[in-house]
Structure 1
């Protein structure tokens, strides 16, 4: 494992510790659906998560372009059992947090803001 991979996982571990138990998984996914780093406490198939996040990312970006409302900053999708928060890290990468039902979204978004810059910096190396 490279030093960059270790740093990314350390940042995700820190994030998960600060938002536990509200966040049950975090993953960084490439535009093509391949996960590059993840920390999951729930029972999710990481390859399936990556593929579905890539589809959602592309759809959200197209929605913004077609409606000429700009680029996504954060996307929150609430479902009956869990929620997903997607935050672009670059044109090709997205950070996704999978939460439990009725999470503290304010805290999660605060912590995402705290780690986003660090992740962008490490991923650009």
Structure 2
């Protein structure tokens, strides 16, 4: 399970990217968004066993006029709800610097989002 807890005094929005070999539109990853999390709220963007998918995952978090730091994995996202393969984009896409993280052999990962 991948869960986000919002500890900010404003709503944050989360997009994720997970390993999906042979994604039909190209690439080996699926990117999805958005999970809008109110202050002191939580959301579970992925409810399965994380390490069964892959040890590596990505996310993109924004809210309150800020964007959380990425790690150089630039992918096209859109502000509307989406579920796209890694290299899919649209005319309303923007380049997002996604954060790459490793879940090792953990089934679950919980992130607290702080300002």
Which structure shows the bigger proportion of residues in strand conformation?
2
Which structure shows the bigger proportion of residues in helix conformation?
1
Q: Same fold (TM over 0.5)?
A: no
Determine which structure has greater relative contact order: mean sequence separation of CA pairs < 8 Å that are 6+ residues apart, divided by chain length. 2
